[in-house]
Structure 1
Amino acid sequence: MNKVYVGDRTIDGIVVTVDGEPLAEHTDKKCYTRNGFEWSYEGPEPSQLAYAILVDHLGDAARAERLERAFMRDVVANFQNEWEMSSADIDRVLQRLG
C-alpha cells in the first residue's frame, strides 16, 4: 500500500497528514518533544516528525527509533516549507541508509 505523507505550513500552523488524515505524533511510544512537528532543521521537533513517519510507515516502533536520527538528518531537516513523500520514497531512503 502506497501512503502519501504531506507537510505544510499554514496560517493556522504546521499540518502533517498521511493519506489526508492527521499523522499521529506517537509520543506515547517515544517522546522527543511535546511541541509538535517541525522540519527544515535538526532538533527535537524534526526528530518527532521523523519518528512518527517511520512508525507509521514501518509499523515497528523499535526499528523506527533506530532509524530516526539518520532519517531526520537526511530527509526531514532538508524538507522545504511544503513537502510530500510517498511510501516508495521512504523505502528508497531507508534502502540507501542501510
Structure 2
Amino acid sequence: MSKVYVGDRTIDGIVVTVDGEPLPERTDAKRYSRNGFEWSYEGPEPSQLAFAMLVDHLGDTVQAERLQPQFMRSVVANFQNEWEMTTADIDRVLQGLR
C-alpha cells in the first residue's frame, strides 16, 4: 500500500502527516528527542523524524533503528521547509543505503 508523508512548517509549528493523519513520534520504541520532529539539519529531532518515518514504513523498530542514522543524514537533514515523500521514494532511498 502506498503512503504519502508530508512535512510543513506552519504558524502553529511543525506538522508531519502520513496520508493526512499525524505521524506518531514513536518515542515509545526509541526516544531521540523530547522536542518532537524537526528537519533540515543533523540532530536529535531529525533523528526522531527519520525513526518515526521508518517505523511507519517498515513496521519494524529494529530495522528502523539500524537504518535511522543514514536515512536522517541522507534524507531528513536535506528536507526543505515543506516536503513530501511517498513509500516508493523511501524504498528507493533504502535500496541505495543497503
TM range (shorter): over 0.9
Deviations 1:21-59 (A, max 9, x none): 000000000000110000000000000000000000000
What residue is the counterpart of 1:32 in the other structure? 32
1:71 aligns with 2:67: no
Q: RMSD of aligned C-alpha atoms?
A: 0.2
Question: Could you tell me how far apart the structure 2 residues matched to 1:62 and 1:4 are?
Answer: 22
Instruction: Give the number of aligned pairs.
Output: 98
Identity percentage of aligned residues: 81
Partner residue of 2:59?
59
| Whole-Å separation in 2 of the counterparts to 1:95 and 1:41 | 22
Normalising by the residue count of structure 1, what TM-score does the alignment of the two structures yield?
1.00
Stretches (4+) displaced over 4 A: none
**CA separation in 2, counterparts of 1:88 and 1:19?**
14
Cα distance between partner residues in 2 of 1:96 and 1:68: 14
Which residue identity is paired with 1:28? D
**Secondary structure of the corresponding residue to residue 26 of structure 2:** coil
5+ residue gaps, structure 1 = none
Provide TM-score, normalisation by structure 2: 1.00
Secondary structure class of the residue paired with 1:67 = helix
Gaps of 5+ in 2: none
